[in-house]
Amino acid sequence: MFSVTVRDHVMIAHSLRGEVFGPAQRLHGATYVVDATFSRAELDSDDIVVDIGWATEALRGVLADLNYRNLDEVPELAGRNTTTEVLARLIADRLASRVEGGGLGDSASGLARIAVTLRESHIAWASYERSL
Amino acid sequence: MFSVTVRDHVMIAHSLRGEVFGPAQRLHGATYVVDATFSRAELDSDDIVVDIGWATEALRGVLADLNYRNLDEVPELAGRNTTTEVLARLIADRLASRVEGGGLGDSASGLARIAVTLRESHIAWASYERSL
Amino acid sequence: MFSVTVRDHVMIAHSLRGEVFGPAQRLHGATYVVDATFSRAELDSDDIVVDIGWATEALRGVLADLNYRNLDEVPELAGRNTTTEVLARLIADRLASRVEGGGLGDSASGLARIAVTLRESHIAWASYERSL
Amino acid sequence: MFSVTVRDHVMIAHSLRGEVFGPAQRLHGATYVVDATFSRAELDSDDIVVDIGWATEALRGVLADLNYRNLDEVPELAGRNTTTEVLARLIADRLASRVEGGGLGDSASGLARIAVTLRESHIAWASYERSL
Amino acid sequence: MFSVTVRDHVMIAHSLRGEVFGPAQRLHGATYVVDATFSRAELDSDDIVVDIGWATEALRGVLADLNYRNLDEVPELAGRNTTTEVLARLIADRLASRVEGGGLGDSASGLARIAVTLRESHIAWASYERSL
Amino acid sequence: MFSVTVRDHVMIAHSLRGEVFGPAQRLHGATYVVDATFSRAELDSDDIVVDIGWATEALRGVLADLNYRNLDEVPELAGRNTTTEVLARLIADRLASRVEGGGLGDSASGLARIAVTLRESHIAWASYERSL
């Protein structure tokens, strides 16, 4: 199995609902350093997993919808708890849509899996992995 | 699959038995930067893998039994080779016990796997992964 | 010259005022990984720059006043632009007050300088250094 | 499952063939920081995955054939696109040959998998994983 | 003293002249992860050292002239040894020219120093620092 | 001012004397990731600060005397508190001796300063800097 990972980041404000979150129930914020990993069993005809330029652009595009925002006020996130885990899945799902829509090139149809890791500090991170 | 990782560290002395260890047969020491990863297929009702506060406390508690010790003199490790691999398994198993004992909260019963990585330097690390 | 550095982090929301900040004028947030460096010309009688436990506690205490907050609503920051640079200076000044108040132990009176670095992502950070 | 990883690096020049590579079609270069991960289900009789000294030597040996070279002029790579993915597979396969040839010791016959990750910058890396 | 640092990278081929360079006399390559640090005694009227967006653009622009190139064939580098140290100075000097030419905004005239660090691997890096 | 840094590591056991050290008064251990930085105002005739190969060898040689040892039993450290700060100075002084003894080449006589940083974990490190 081959994989390629690209890294970017996003800076957001949000609050979390549930006693388990303690002080994180207050409006606060985070920088998420985001790693998006694309995997496939065999390389494409250019000997790559995915065009790294397009992968970088796709990740940047997905993050642009979140960047420098208060997630509590983003309509499509209304009523959802924007935990690191939920955001990892959201980003992975949106990347998957771009792959399926052809946004990462024709050969990206051979991708098997996407994994997204959000590092919220030097001591904590969360991941979500799904098939394509 | 979702996962959450928390990082802590432990500083110990020990010696290793076996010719394969060369100079590490002498009493020496290590800082292990320890990453504990908890995984599950679906998020719990708070939209998380595990309460990150409790995960952090659990890891700290497990490491506290080892920290600032000469492992050669820790009774429950008597007669064992405390290689990085063995310590990764020990820490994973003790975290698993805490999960099973309810120490990470009720919803932690939905956890599927634990992985523990011990980084002993900038150029070497070891991991152990097990199911729950 | 000797120095000792300890690392912690803080997660905040805020907005910045001024056209130069572009989209960061909106309410958003950041994780700052914070490095506090204490320096002195000669070691104290214990052969250290500063007690690393007390330094860690001092940094944690200073960050606790900011952590999980919307800085736009913190009274003592009212009317100030909480840029990374300003926060680095704020944290350094508060650490300096603790040093001068004896909070890092008697021998900390021999400290010469404090530097604070705030890493806001994997590609950007800011520092402030001052004498004591 | 247990694993052990060792890290080294290699500095090479090369060019890539295919429009998808854009400016990387020109002769340029890269430092690859290389992580080689060895995995097995059970530890050997010394309580290790593999002798870390021999693993380090094996990785150094494999990289020595590439280091400080223009890969466009290395005969055994003639006609191949030396993408990061292809190099990850090449290094993994050569490490596998060393394992199978006994170069990592007798107990290395119990190894189950090898994974190789090449980090080409702070924001991009590629991996290849195979069984043994 | 305040400082702000931005990070980018560049991938080049080159060869070095002089026996001291051993195998690096051959045509090979490197990824340099480049940190550019801008310093000043007092913040500007926006409470910043420099606009981080413009600093990032300036660094990207300076690196674009080198990126994906064989430095042995870049005319303005003809006859020069492109050691990591020399490249650090080259990048710092070109950033300084941009500052002096107004490319980082009017308030950048208050900058006091620029430092540039090139990380060529996980175990080696070089820096050059100069005044403005 | 130019500088070059090389990184290596050392794994030791030791105990510290003084109430300030709390549990670190017990025999324990550490991995120190060691960065040695060499600085000078002008480059030598090869356009470098110091031969990076010799710098790497010098650092390895200095660390070899400490590596895989219980520092409490190293005769030349008898009666000394081997704090991270003291070890940073010890390593810097031994590197300085090698420079002055010609061990880093003739042109190393132009070096102005040496700084040594010992990273004992992901959240704490100490440095010592001296002139040559």
Q: Is the pLDDT of residue B39 over 90?
A: yes
Element (H, E) at E100: helix E84-100
Task: For residue E14, give how far its alpha carbon lies from the nearest alpha carbon of chain C (Å).
Answer: 26
Element (H, E) at A75: none
Q: What is the mean pLDDT of chain F?
A: 97
In this prediction, residues B107-123 reach a mean pLDDT of 97
Which chain E residue has its CA at the smallest distance from F51's CA? E20
Element (H, E) at A34: strand A28-40
pLDDT for position D77: 93
Q: Is the pLDDT of residue D8 over 90?
A: yes
Q: What is the DSSP string of D2-36?
A: EEEEEEEEEEEEE---SGGGGGGGSSEEEEEEEEE
- To the nearest 10°, report the CA torsion of E83, E88, E89, E95: 150
pLDDT for position F10: 98
Q: ipTM of this model?
A: 0.96
Chain F interface, mutation test: which of B10, B11, B69, most F Cβ atoms within 10 Å? B11
Chain E interface, mutation test: which of D31, D83, D117, most E Cβ atoms within 10 Å? D31
pLDDT for position B112: 98
F5–E124: do the CB atoms touch at under 8 Å? yes
pLDDT for position A78: 86
Task: For residue D126, give how far its alpha carbon lies from the nearest alpha carbon of chain C (Å).
Answer: 19
Using CB atoms, which chains have 3+ pairs under 8 A with A? Answer: B, C, D, F
pLDDT for position E38: 98
pLDDT for position C54: 96
- Rounded to an integer, what distance in angstroms lies between the CA atom of residue C29 and that of residue C15? 8
Which of C49, C53, C56 is the closest to F126 by Cβ?
A: C49
E28–D67: do the CB atoms touch at under 8 Å? yes
Chain D interface, mutation test: which of E11, E72, E74, most D Cβ atoms within 10 Å? E11
Chain F interface, mutation test: which of B7, B21, B31, most F Cβ atoms within 10 Å? B31
How many CB atoms sit inside 10 A of residue C72's CB?
17
pLDDT for position A90: 98
**Residues A67, C23 contacting (CB under 8 angstroms):** yes
- On the CB side of F54, CA atoms within 13 Å amount to 19
CA E86 to chain centre: 10
Of the candidates A100, A101, A91, the residue with the CA atom closest to the CA atom of residue A60: A91
Task: For residue C17, give how far its alpha carbon lies from the nearest alpha carbon of chain F (Å).
Answer: 33
Model confidence band, residue F90 (pLDDT cutoffs 50, 70, 90): very high
Which chain F residues have a beta carbon less than 8 Å from that of B14? 13, 29
- Rounded to an integer, what distance in angstroms lies between the CA atom of residue A50 and that of residue A72? 34
> Looking at beta carbons, which pairs linking B22-25 to residues 24 or more positions away fall under 8 Å?
B22/D53, B23/F67, B23/F68, B24/F11, B24/F68
- Rounded to an integer, what distance in angstroms lies between the CA atom of residue E126 and that of residue F26? 38
pLDDT for position E111: 98
Which chain E residues have a beta carbon less than 8 Å from that of D70? 13, 26-29
Q: How far apart are the first and last CA of chain E?
A: 15
Which chain E residue has its CA at the smallest distance from D9's CA? E121
Q: Is the pLDDT of residue A111 over 90?
A: yes
Q: How many CB pairs under 8 A join D and E?
A: 84
C53 vs A108, D102, F14, CA distance in Å? 51, 48, 18
Of the candidates D45, D30, D36, the residue with the CA atom closest to the CA atom of residue D3: D36
**Residues B32, B6 contacting (CB under 8 angstroms):** no
Which chain E residue has its CA at the smallest distance from B122's CA? E122
How many CB atoms sit inside 10 A of residue E78's CB?
9
Which chain E residue has its CA at the smallest distance from D15's CA? E68
Percent share of chain B, pLDDT over 90 = 98
Which of B4, B6, B7 is the closest to A85 by Cβ?
A: B4
C121 vs A10, B11, B45, D81, CA distance in Å? 9, 28, 30, 34
How many CB atoms sit inside 10 A of residue A131's CB?
9
Q: What is the mean pLDDT of chain C?
A: 97
Q: Is the pLDDT of residue D57 over 90?
A: yes
Which chain B residues have a beta carbon less than 8 Å from that of F117? none
Q: Kindly report the backbone phi and psi dihedral angles of residue E120, in degrees, each rounded to the nearest multiple of 5, phi listed first.
A: -95, -10
| Span E53-63, pLDDT tens digits | 999 999 999 99
The one-letter code for the residue type at D10 is V
E21–F46: do the CB atoms touch at under 8 Å? yes
pLDDT for position F87: 98
Q: How many CB pairs under 8 A join B and E?
A: 3
Q: What is the pTM of this model?
A: 0.97
Using CB atoms, which chains have 3+ pairs under 8 A with D? Answer: A, B, C, E
Q: What is the DSSP string of F25-81?
A: GSSEEEEEEEEEEEEESS--TTS-SS-HHHHHHHHHHHHHTTTTEEGGG-GGGTT--
Q: Do chains D and F touch (3 or more CB pairs under 8 A)?
A: no
Query: Exposed, middle or buried, B56 (CB in 10 Å: 0-12/13-18/19+)?
Result: middle
Which chain A residue has its CA at the smallest distance from F122's CA? A122
Pairing status of strand A113-121 against strand A124-131 = antiparallel
Chain A residues with CB under 8 Å of a chain F CB are 122-123
pLDDT for position A120: 98
Q: Is the pLDDT of residue F97 over 90?
A: yes
Q: Is the pLDDT of residue C79 over 90?
A: no
Q: What is the mean pLDDT of chain A?
A: 97
Q: What is the mean pLDDT of chain E?
A: 97
Which of F23, F26, F68 is the closest to B28 by Cβ?
A: F68
Which of C20, C21, C124 is the closest to E6 by Cβ?
A: C124
Which chain F residues have a beta carbon less than 8 Å from that of C43? 83, 85-86
Model confidence band, residue B79 (pLDDT cutoffs 50, 70, 90): confident
pLDDT for position A79: 86
Which chain F residue has its CA at the smallest distance from E82's CA? F47
Task: For residue F101, give how far its alpha carbon lies from the nearest alpha carbon of chain B (Å).
Answer: 28
Which of B49, B53, B56 is the closest to A85 by Cβ?
A: B49
Element (H, E) at D37: strand D28-40
Of the candidates F128, F124, F118, the residue with the CA atom closest to the CA atom of residue F66: F118
Q: Is the pLDDT of residue D78 over 90?
A: no
pLDDT for position D79: 86
CA D63 to chain centre: 7
How many CB atoms sit inside 10 A of residue C101's CB?
9
Which of E3, E53, E105 is the closest to C22 by Cβ?
A: E53
A21–B46: do the CB atoms touch at under 8 Å? yes
Record the tokens describing residue A14, joined without a space: 């949000």
- Rounded to an integer, what distance in angstroms lies between the CA atom of residue A125 and that of residue E56? 26
| Span C101-131, pLDDT tens digits | 999 999 999 999 999 999 999 999 999 999 9
Chain E residues with CB under 8 Å of a chain F CB are 18, 20-22, 80-81, 83-86, 88-89, 122-130
Q: How many CB pairs under 8 A join B and D?
A: 53
Percent share of chain C, pLDDT over 90 = 98
pLDDT for position C78: 86
In this prediction, residues F44-57 reach a mean pLDDT of 97
In this prediction, residues C14-43 reach a mean pLDDT of 97
**Residues C4, F132 contacting (CB under 8 angstroms):** no
Percent share of chain F, pLDDT over 90 = 98
pLDDT for position B106: 92
In chain A, helix, strand, coil percent, each to 5? 35, 35, 30
Which chain F residues have a beta carbon less than 8 Å from that of C6? 123-124
| Span B2-33, pLDDT tens digits | 999 999 999 999 999 999 999 999 999 999 99
pLDDT for position B81: 96
Which of C9, C30, C33 is the closest to A29 by Cβ?
A: C30
Residues contacting A114, CB < 8 A, separation 6+: A36, A37, A38, A39, A92, A95, A96, A99, A129, A130, A132
Element (H, E) at C50: none
pLDDT for position F79: 85
Chain E interface, mutation test: which of C20, C84, C120, most E Cβ atoms within 10 Å? C20
Percent share of chain C, pLDDT over 70 = 100
B2–A127: do the CB atoms touch at under 8 Å? yes
With a cut of 70, which residues of chain E have pLDDT below it? none
In this prediction, residues A122-130 reach a mean pLDDT of 98
Model confidence band, residue D102 (pLDDT cutoffs 50, 70, 90): very high
